[in-house]
C-alpha cells in the first residue's frame, strides 16, 4: 500500500517529472495535473481521498480564473482559496518560483500550509519534507484522540 496519496498541480512538466520520479521511488501514490480547470474538477471529486496537495502559484488560469490572475501569475493564490474552502485541514504545499513579499504574506500565517521556493530544494528534498509533514500530521491526529 502506498504511504500517502498526493495531488500535484503544476504546469512545469520538466521539473515535475524529476519530482514524480522521486515520489515513485519513495512509494507515494500521486495524481499529476497540469491544467487548472481539470485539476480543480479532480480536486472537488477526490478531496476526501487526498493526504497532501502540492500547488504551484504560476499556472495558466484556465477558463474559470481567466480574468483574475494577472496573466496566470497568481493562479495558485486563487486556487488555494478554493481548496481551503473545501478542505480546511488538508496539508497544502505551495511550491513556487515566486518568492515575493506578497506571496509570503499570503501563505506564511496559513495553518496546514507550507511555502517552499522551488530554488531552495532539490526534488528528493521535497519528498523528505513531505515525509516530515505527514509525520507531524499523524502525530497531531493521535494527540487529538
Q: Which residues bind other proteins (CB under 8 A)?
A: 11-15, 18, 22, 34, 57-60, 70-73, 96-101, 118-125
Using the minimum distance from each CB to other proteins, give the nearer residue, 61 or 91. Answer: 61
Using the minimum distance from each CB to other proteins, give the nearer residue, 46 or 97. Answer: 97
Angle between helical axes of 123-144 and 13-25 (0-180°, round to 10): 60
Using DSSP's 3-state secondary structure scheme, residue 113 falls into strand
Pairwise CA distance, residues 18 & 115, whole Å: 19
**Pick from 47, 82, 138: nearest CA to 130:** 138
Smallest separation, CB 134 to other proteins (Å): 19
Using the minimum distance from each CB to other proteins, give the nearer residue, 5 or 60. Answer: 60
Smallest separation, CB 45 to other proteins (Å): 24
Smallest separation, CB 3 to other proteins (Å): 17
Smallest separation, CB 2 to other proteins (Å): 20
Pairwise CA distance, residues 56 & 88, whole Å: 18
Q: Is the dihedral of CA 41, 45, 48, 52 positive or negative?
A: negative
Pairwise CA distance, residues 29 & 110, whole Å: 26
Using the minimum distance from each CB to other proteins, give the nearer residue, 31 or 121. Answer: 121
Amino acid at each position: 500500500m502506498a504511504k500517502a496519496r498526493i495531488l500535484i498541480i503544476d504546469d512545469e512538466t520538466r521539473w515535475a517529472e524529476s519530482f514524480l520520479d522521486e515520489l515513485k521511488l519513495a512509494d507515494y501514490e500521486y495524481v499529476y495535473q497540469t491544467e487548472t480547470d481539470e485539476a480543480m474538477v479532480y480536486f472537488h471529486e477526490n478531496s476526501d481521498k487526498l493526504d497532501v496537495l502540492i500547488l504551484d502559484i504560476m499556472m495558466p488560469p484556465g477558463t474559470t480564473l481567466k480574468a483574475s490572475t494577472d496573466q496566470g501569475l497568481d493562479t495558485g493564490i486563487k486556487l488555494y482559496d478554493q481548496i481551503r474552502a473545501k478542505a480546511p485541514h488538508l496539508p497544502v504545499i505551495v511550491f513556487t518560483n515566486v518568492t515575493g513579499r506578497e506571496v509570503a504574506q499570503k501563505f506564511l500565517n496559513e495553518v496546514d500550509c507550507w511555502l517552499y521556493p522551488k530554488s531552495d530544494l532539490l526534488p528528493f528534498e521535497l519528498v523528505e519534507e513531505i515525509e516530515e509533514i505527514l509525520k507531524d500530521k499523524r502525530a497531531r491526529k493521535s494527540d487529538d484522540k
